[in-house]
Copies of this chain bind each other. A is one copy, B any other.
């Protein structure tokens, strides 16, 4: 493992748990959690940081799971669509979903369908040093952005909240 998300934790257990949840999630929805999809999620979980699609493709390729860009993009699209991973817009990269909050039987995992309902918006702390990503949630739609949207008659479908900066480790290392 390379980049811990700022805090120490039992990483193997965290990975196994997340994979198990993904399995359950897909099973409940009759979705195929194929070898490639599973492996891509596992890679993201192991690294615990934002990775580019081509980084992931390199790993897949070395394991005989695909050699062309669509192999990576299709798996990533699936994981993002199911809320098992997130796209980090600010880095054009991807990270595993770190919130175990969503059990089976849900609709969209993070309230992306209509964020103005409950404001369950995923938010990320992204270290520009090591690219480690910490995930939290933010209640945003109740604030100024939601107010602006309502005032303008704008219907929000998806909200991106990303904070870029330095994690304690990289700040200490004088990045």
Contacts and interface: CB of A to CB of B under 8 A. Distances in A.
Given A140-B140, A154-B166, A155-B171, 19 more contacts: A6-B152, A6-B154, A89-B160, A90-B160, A92-B92, A123-B144, A125-B149, A136-B144, A136-B148, A139-B143, A149-B163, A149-B165, A153-B167, A154-B165, A154-B168, A156-B164, A158-B164, A159-B161, A160-B163
A11 to B, nearest CB: 17
Copies of this protein in the complex: 2
Contacts of A148: 123, 125, 134, 136
A134 B161 contact: no
Contact of A168 (B137, B152, B163, B166): B152
